[in-house]
Structure 1
Amino acid sequence: MAPTSYQAPMRGDKADKKTVSQSTESNLASTTSTVAKLLEQKGDAVHAVRPQDTVHHAVTVLRDKRIGALLVTDQNGDMQGILSERDIVRKLAETPGQTLPQQVDGLMTREVTTCAPADALETILRKMTDGKFRHMPVLDDGKLCGMITIGDVVNFRLNELEYESLRMKQMIVG
């Protein structure tokens, strides 16, 4: 039985008049995913420590926030470096039992690869993979505006692929 909203074609109907809720163009339209789009969903929260803070303090923040890296900023919020779990583990191996009282300044990575909000996520994913790092600060005109992780990028991209797959199925089914 046809739905009650169905109207059978009538004499005089124009054959070329057709309405659709989707089009090939809308289903196949693709946009480049950017860091800005990811940050819209994730938010722009950045966790940071100062260079003179102890590693013990940094480890506590990492544990409490359940994150893998902290930005190191000065009193003005300008980025000085990044401190990751890997930096801490390397120092633990070099100075066993003496690492926690040391200052963050002695462990942090000073040369930090950053990205901008307009950067394409595929490019960022490639940089992270090639550079073998998992955290990337986001700078907008030199000012810190967020931090993304390789997990954020992969998850965002998986959600996009799932959505694209759904759109393709809808286009095929009609």
Structure 2
Amino acid sequence: MNVAAILKAKGPEVVTVDPNATLGQVATTLSERRIGAIVVMQDRKVLGIVSERDVIKAIARVGAAALTTPVREAMTSRIITCGLNDSIDELMDSMTAGRFRHLPVIEDGELVGIVSIGDVVKHRIAETVMETEALKLYIATG
């Protein structure tokens, strides 16, 4: 199973934000949409990603005033991305090694989706269940 299969199941929608938006606006969007990260874009170009962790770090540094900080000052600008053909194992390796939970999906230089660790785990479990059922069927008919 690969990223394309995950996006086919969950859809390609990606919540994005302008780098001049405030962390308060981001926190509201994260809460309302029940998501953990937002891709920061300007002129159709991915500039970074801002996650719950980025918001918390900013608040820990400067207190409530952080909520008026522009996203560009708190976002993670060195992001790792993936492509549609990347496997679930590759995603798990990247996320584990980098200690992050969201990967923007880039294809031909365009943002086409985002996958979270929850998406990856859900599909990995489904894959394991299918393999188990296939083995049970093989043993029962063998």
Same fold (TM over 0.5): yes
Residue 152, structure 1, aligned to residue 119, structure 2:
yes
Deviations 1:37-89 (A, max 9, x none): 11111110100110000111111110010000000001x32111000011111
Identity of aligned residues (%): 37
Residue 53, structure 1, aligned to residue 44, structure 2:
no
After TM superposition, which residue ranges in structure 1, 4 or more long, deviate above 4 angstroms? none
Q: CA deviation at 1:95?
A: 0.3
1:116 is aligned to 83
1:65 is aligned to 33
1:126 is aligned to 93
Which of 88, 95, 98 in structure 1 is aligned with 2:55? 88
Which consecutive unaligned segments of at least 5 residues does structure 2 have? Answer: none
Which consecutive unaligned segments of at least 5 residues does structure 1 have? Answer: 1-32
Larger strand share, 1 or 2: 2
2:103 is aligned to 136
Which of 67, 75, 88 in structure 2 is aligned with 1:100? 67
Aligned residues between the structures: 141
* SS in structure 1 of the partner of residue 123 of structure 2: helix
Please, what TM-score do these two structures have when normalized by structure 1? 0.79
Larger helix share, 1 or 2: 2
Looking at CA atoms only, which structure, 1 or 2, has the larger radius of gyration? 1
- What is the alpha-carbon distance in structure 2 between the residues aligned to residue 159 and residue 97 of structure 1? 42
